[in-house]
Structure 1
Amino acid sequence: LLGYAYGRAGDSALPDGVPLPCDCVEGDNAVTLGRLARFVASLEDFADACAVTRTLHAWADELDKAIGTFFVSTNETYQEVGLVRAAVHKLRASSEGSALADPVALAVVRDFVASRLQDVLGGDPLGANAVVFSALRPGSSIPREIVCLLGMADGQFPRSDNRPAYDLLRTERRFGDRSMRQEDRMAFLEAVLSARRRLYISYVGFNLDGDLSKPEIPPSVTVAELMEAFEAETVQPVYHRLQPHHPAYFTHREGSEAQGKLFSYSTTACETARALRIGRSESEEAVTKIAETGATAALVVEIELEKLITFFKNPAKAFYTGPLGARLEIALESALEDQETFDQQGLGKYAVNAAIVDLLAADGQPDKERLRRALLENGMLALGQRGKAWFEEQIETIDEALKTTVDGLDITLKEALQQQRTVTPISHTVSLELDEDITVRLTGTTVSVPAGDGGSGYTLDFRYTSDQAYERLACWIRHLFSCAAGQAAPRFYLRRKKDKIAQQCFNGVGSEADSQMLVRYIRLFLDGQRSVVPFVSDVSASYIKAFRKSKADTESARRDEALAKAQGTWAPFEHENGPPPPCSDSYYRAAFGEAGPFADQARFHEVAVAVFENDQPLVP
C-alpha cells in the first residue's frame, strides 16, 4: 500500500530501518490490492466485534452484518448463503423465545450456529449418528459401541443359494462365483467384530400356533455357532413375552426374571397390564404381582402451550402427524417454485411482512436496503424493479399501519411494540385438575409490559395478517394461560382487516373461570389424540356466527340454517383470491372426506359451541 501511494521517489525521506516501499503495484493490480485491503480491514473489525460478549439478539445482528459484508449471493452461492442466514434467524428466534437476557461469548453462538448448519447440510460423519439402520451386507458394518442384529432365525439367515434349474452355477461352481450364503456369513462375522461393548441378537423363536412356554424355532446356524464358541456366562438368552403389557415386565419380586432381564419403561403398557389384572382371581394375583408404583398417584400430563394452540389450527393434521406419525404432503422447504414469484402470497407474504414489522419497530434508523437484499438472497422477493417496487409498497403500507393508535393505551402501535420488546419473556407452568386422577401441567411463556407512569400493564398480540377465527382463538388461549399464570393484564389483539387494523381487547373473567375455559380446550386436545375432532376453525366460526344471528323459531331450524352456512364455508361455490378453502386441505379431506366435518352434526355443534360460545368476541 505504501509503495502504491508513495512510490520510490522519496526513499531518502524514510526513517532509518523502515523497509523500502514496493512500487510494482499499478493498473489493475491496484484494484486487487484495494479489495485485499478492504477485506483485511473488515476481518479486523469483525474480530474486534467478536472479542466482546453480547446478547443473543445483538449477536444475530452482528452475524447478519458479517454475512452481508463477506458473502455475495449469486446463482451458485444463494442456497448456501440462505442456509447461513436461516441459522442466524434461528438464533434470533431463540433469543426472542427464551428468557436469556445475559450477554454470552462468541463460543456459545458459534456452537449454536454450527449445530444448525450441521443439521441442515447433513454433513456430519456417519459415526456421529445416534442410531444407524442398514441391511446386513459384507462391508457395510463399521465399529460401534452397540450392534443389534434382528431377524436371525433359522431359515431366514443366512440366505440359501436357490438358483433356477437352467442356471449352470447350480450344477457346476467355479472359484470366485458369488454365494449369497457365504456373503451373509461374512457379513455376520464383520458385524460381530464391529461390536465394541455389546452385541444384541434377536429372532422370533416361538410358534404362535404352538406352545408359547418354550421356543420351537431354532436360531440361525451362525448364531448357534457363536453361542457354542462362548461360555454360558457370556451369552445369556432372554425369552421375551408375546405382548409388551405382559405382567412379567412389571413384577418386582426378589429373584424374579423381570428384576434382571425383563423390564419396561412404558407407562401405557403398565396401565394396560394393571387393567387386565383387575378381573383375575386372588390366586392368580398372588402368582404375578403388578408393580403398584404410582398406582394411587394422579396421572400427570405435560402439554406445551404452543402445541395446544397449533392443535386448534388444524386438529386433523395434529392427529395424523402426532399420534399416527404420518404426513400426507411432501413439503420441500428448499425447493423453488416452477414459476418466478412476482407478488408474494400466503406464507411467503406473511414472512416478508413479519420481517418488515421487525425492522420498522426496532429502535434507530431502519436499514431497508439491507433487509431487501436479505429477502432477495433468500428467494423471498422477485428480481428487478418489480420486486423492489412491491417491497417498497409493503414498507409504506406497514409503516402507515404502525402509526395506528391502540385503543385503550393512547400510544401508537409502533410505540407499544417497542415497549413490549424490552420485556423479557417469563416461563410459567400451570397445573389444572381435569379429573380426580388426572392433572395437566401446561407450560409456556408470557410477555407482559408492566404498569408504569400512571398507565396499566398490557400484552400486545400483533401480526400484519388477516383477521381470522384461528388468530383470535390463539390470542384468547394465550390470554387464558397468562391469567391462569397470574399475569392478568389486558391483551390487545390487532390484525389487518382490508385497509384498516382490526382491534380487540381481551380481559380476564376471573381466575376460576379462566382455568375452567382452559380445561375445556385441553379436554378437546386430549380427545384429539385418540381421534379426529370435528373442528375446522373457519367453518366452525361461520357456524356459530350464523347460529347466533338466526331468527328461526326452533333450535333445530337454527342449527340447519347455521349448518348450511358452514357447508358453504367448507366448500364455497366460487373461490376468489385468498387462502384456499378448507376442503382442499389434504388432512381435512383424509379425516372428513369431501362432505366435511358434518357426519356427526351433534358432535360438530357441541365442539363449535365449546370453542367459540362465550362472552369474548372470538368470531370476526
Structure 2
Amino acid sequence: MLRIYHSNALDTLRDILVEMIKNDPQSDPFLADQILVQSPGMAQWLKLELAERLGIAANIEFPLPASFLWKVFVAALDDVPERSAYNKASMTWVLMRILPEHLNDDLFSILRQYLKQDDDPLRLYHLCAKVADLYDQYLVYRPDWIAAWEQGDDQPADDQEQRWQPVLWRAIVADTSARGLPHWHRANMYDTFISALSDKSSVLSGVPQRIFVFGISALPQNYIEALAALGEKIDVHLMLANPCRHYWGDIVDPAYLARLNRLWLSKGQDADSTYQTGHPLLASMGKLGRDYLYLIQQMELPEVGLFNDACYDLMLSALQSDILELNNRGSVLEHLHQDPDLMPISFAADDQSIQLHSAHSALREVEILQDQLLAMFNDNATLKPRDIIVMMPDVAHYAPYIDAVFGNAEQKCFLPYSISDRSAEQEIPLLSSFMQLIALNNSRFSVSEVIALLELPATLRRFGLEQEDFENIRHWIHETGIHWGLDQASREDVGSVQFEQNSWHFGMDRLFSGYALGAADTVWNDIAPYDGVGGLSAAALGQLSAFLTQLGQLKELFSGEQSLTEWIVQIHQMMDSMYLPDERDHEALELIYQALESLRETFQEVTFEGSIDVAILRDYLQEQLSSQRSSQRFLSGQINFCTLIPMRAIPFKVVCLLGMNDSDYPRSLPPMGFDLMVDHPRKGDRSRRDDDRYLFLEALLSARETLYISYVGRSIADNSKRVPSVLVSEVLEYCDQAYRIEGLALLVQQHLLLEHPLTAYSPAYFDASSERLFSYNARWAIPQAEAAQVARGQAENFIKGKLQETECEQLELEELIMFYRHPIQYFFQKRMQIYFRDDELVLSDEEPFHLEPLTDYHLRKRLLKSALRGDGLEATGQYIRQSGVLPVGKAGDIELFKRTRDIGELYEKMQPLMTGEPRRLEIKLRFPGLGKLSGSGKLSESGNCGSTEMEACDLTLQGWVNDAYQGGVLKYDVSKVSGRHRFITWIQHLATCAAGFAERTIYRGLSEQFSFKPVSAELAHQELTQLISVYREGQRLPLNWIPEPAWKWLSLREKDEDRARKDAQSRFESDRGGDGSNPYVRRVYPEWRMLESGVFAYSDQLFSEMMNYLEVDKDDN
C-alpha cells in the first residue's frame, strides 16, 4: 500500500524512517532498503542521520526516482532495455543524423531558416540538443501528446508553425525501430506498467518488499501513479515535507487574485468568494509544492499527519508557525475582525533569528558573513560548523571570495568550511587546460593563455621544466615584447591584420639570436637580439620552443571534421605529448576518458558514423565536464557553502542565503520558443522561477535558529541604492504586517536591515558607534588606530617613538642625494627595510598602442646613451624598432621619430658644454660633531630596543662628481625637469663648491634647463651641515617633506603666497602622479594637512639659499 506521511519537519520524517528500518526489518537481510531521494545532498544527510541513530547505515541504497522506476519497469515488463533508446543524449545524435533529411519539407521551414542564418555546424548541434531536451520533457510531462503523435494525431493542433514536432518525433520512433531497438520510453511504459500490476495474479520479482520516498518536493503525475500502482504489491511510504498542516492546494498568489478580481469585477463577480490566499508567502512561493499536493490529493490515498506544534518564541519560528497554521497575521481582514490570535506579535529588539545584511559587493557579503558567524559561535557554545549552511544562486561566482576570506583567516578566527557544487573544470586545473588545448584553432595565443597552459604542473613535468625555469620564461616574455599570436599567419586565422611584431615567433627569434650572438645593440637579419639567455637557462629556452611547436601542431590537428574514432586517438596522443600526470591528475584523466567513452557508446547505439566538427566535440566535452559537480563535499562536517538547488532544504540551525539580489534571484530561464508546454500549461509543470521560489521557502522553513540573508544593496561605484530579491521583499512586507519590535516605532524591516560600510576597515566597525557593526579581524583594526594617531600629527606613533640613532662616521654623497629624492620612501626602504611594491610581473595580451611613461623614459635614455657614445641615433632607432616596444607600423615610426628628434636636440644643446676632457671631482668633506659612534655600552635613557647610547663624532661626506668640463659640471636627464631634479642638483653643486671646486653646475633637460652659480666654500659647507642634520633626523622618523610640493612652494611664495600654498596642495593631491598616491606617503601622511607645515618649514630652512643661486637658462630654440 502507498501511504503518505505529512510533516513540517524533516527531522520528524527522519525519525519515522529510522523507526521503520529499526523495528521492521526486511525478511531478507541481504535485500537492500530503497530510499528514493531527489539529490545526492539529501542522500548524504540521510546516511549520516541513519548511521548516528542506528549505529551503522549499511545495505541501504538511495536511487533517484527516475532510475528506480526504470529498474522496476525492467523487472516487471518484458523486453525493457537497461537504458532507454529515447534518452536525451541518444536522441540528440539521432536528430543530428535525420534532421537534415527533413529540412526541405515545408513543415520544417522555420528550422531551415534558422539554420541558414549561420553555416556553423555547431548551430545544428545546439538545435538538436534543444529539441532532444524538449522531447525528454514531453515524455515526462506530456505523455498523452507523445502517445497521440505516435498514433498520427498531431495535438495540440493550434500552432501550425510547430507541426514539425510530431513529424520529427515519428521520425525518431521510425529510426529507433529500424535499428531493432525496443520501443519503450517513459511515456508509453507507465500505462502498461500500471495495467500489468492491476492483475492480482501478477508477481513482481527483483523488487524490494518496501520503498521509501523521502522528502521529495515534487514528482510528475505519472511517477505518482506508478508508485501508487506499485503500492498494490509492496509497501510504499511517501514522506512529504509539507509546510502547512491544513490543505492549501487551492490557495492562490495575492497578485494573481488581484488580477482575477480586476477581470471578474468587470463581469459583476467577486474572485475572493471563489479563491483564498491563505498565507501570502505560501501562496506566492509555494506553487511547486501546491501543485504537487493537489496531484497527491486527487489519488485519495491514506495519509498521516505528523506536524510539530506551532512556536512563537522568536520571529523566525513565528513566521514558520504562521505558515504552518495558514495564518495571515496582521492582515487588514484580521484587523477588522479583531481576532486576538491573529493580531501582530511583538518581539525583543535583540531578536536575531532573522537577519538581513546589505553590502556593496559579493566580496563584502562574504567578509560580513565571516564576522557574523564568528559572533554566532561566540554567543552560542553549542553551535558547530556542521550546523551551518550557506547557499547562493551560483557558488562558482562566490568561491574565490570564500577562499580569500575564510581560507586566509587568522588561526583564532579560522572557521572550517567546504565548497560544493563547483564544476570539475573549475576545481581541476588539468580539465581547464585540456579544454583550452582542443580549442587552440580559435585561440589568439595570448600570453595569458599560453602561460596558463605551460604553468600546469603536469605540463611543466612533461617538458622537463622547473618552477625557476617558468619564472625565467615569464621574464623573457616581458623583456622580448611577446604579447599574442604564434606568428603573423596565425593572426590572420583569427581575423587580424598580418604582422610579426610581438608574436611568439618574434620573441623566440630575439631569444635565440641573443643566445647565439651575445650582448649586441645592433640589428641582425631584421632581428634585435635579446642577450638575457645564457648558461643553464638555455635548456629552458629549448623546452619553451618545443612547447610552442607542440601548440602549433595541435592548432592544426584540432580543426575541421573527423570521425569520433579519429578524434579519440588524436586526443590520447595530445594528452601523452602535453601531460606527465601524477596521482593528483588521475581524477581529471578519468573524467575525460569517461566522457569520450560515453560518447562512443552513444554513437554505437544510434549508429552515427559520420564525421563531427571539432567545435561540436569541444561543446560536448565542455558540457560533460562542467556537469560533473563536487557535491560529495556536501555535509562534510564543516560550514557548507553550496548552490541553491532543489532538495537542499535539510534542517540546519543556521541557514544563510547570499546573493539575494533582485537581478539574480529568482533565476530566470527563458523557455524555448518552440516549447508547446508554455502555451498549454498544466499543474505540476516545472519552471525555473517557480522552483527558485519554492527553494527560498524551503530554506526559510529549514532554518532552526537563524535565517541570515544578504544582498548587494549599494552600488560599489556610486553608492546608489539597490533593492533585494522580490522574495526577500515579500518576507519583509509580511514581517512588517505581522510583527512588531518592542520599544521601537520602526517598521520591522527597518530594524532587520543592517547596511554595512563600503570597506571592511571602515572606522564604523571599530569605534563602537553601533553595537550591530563589529569586526573580528584585528588586521583591519590596525590601520584605524594608526590613522587616528597620524591624524593627531604624531608620525612617530607609527614606530612607537623615534628610532635609535645609527652609527655614522662616513656618508656617501650619493646616499645623501638618494635621501632627498624622497625622504619618506628612503626611511621605509633603507632604515626599515620595507618595500611597498608588487613584485608580480604583469604580462599584457595586447601589443603596445602607445608608449608607457616608464618605457618612454628608458627608450630616451637608450637613445641619449647611444648619442654620447657616438654610435649614432639611426642604428639605435632601428634596434628599438625591432625590439617590440613601439606601436606597430606607422604609429611606431612616428613615435620613434619624435623621440629621436627630441634626443638629437638635447644632445646638440649639450655639445657646446662638453669642451675638453671630462674630469671626475673627488668630494671629501669633514663636518665636526655630525657623526655618531657607539659609546662604552651604557644603555640609552629610553632603553629603546636595548641599544647603547651614541656619542658624537666627526662625519666625513665623500663621493665623486662626474662630467666636470671647462664650462662647469654638466648634469642632464631625458625626463621633464621636476623639483626633485633641482634639489638633488643643488646638493651636488654644494658638495662641489664646498670641496673647493668653484664650478658652475649646468642642468639640461628635454624642455627646460637651469644652472647654479658658484657658491663660496664656507656657505656651501654651512648649507650641507643643515642638510646632513636633517638627513640624520630622517633616519629616526619619516620626514614630513617631499620635493614636488616643496618646489611649488619655493617657486611661487615670493610672488603669491596663497597661490603657492594651493599649488603645493594640488600637486600632492593630483590624481596624475601626485605624492598623495604614493604608498609610502599614504602610510604615515594620508592627508595634506599632516604634511603641510613640514613641507613649508623644511623648504625654507634647507633650500631658501638655493633660490638665490638658481638661474633659468633660456632655451636656445
TM-score band, normalised by shorter chain: 0.3 to 0.5
Return the TM-score normalized by structure 1: 0.45
Q: Larger % of helix: which?
A: 2
The structure number with the bigger radius of gyration is: 2
Higher RCO (C-alpha under 8 Å, 6+ residues apart): 2
Return the TM-score normalized by structure 2: 0.26
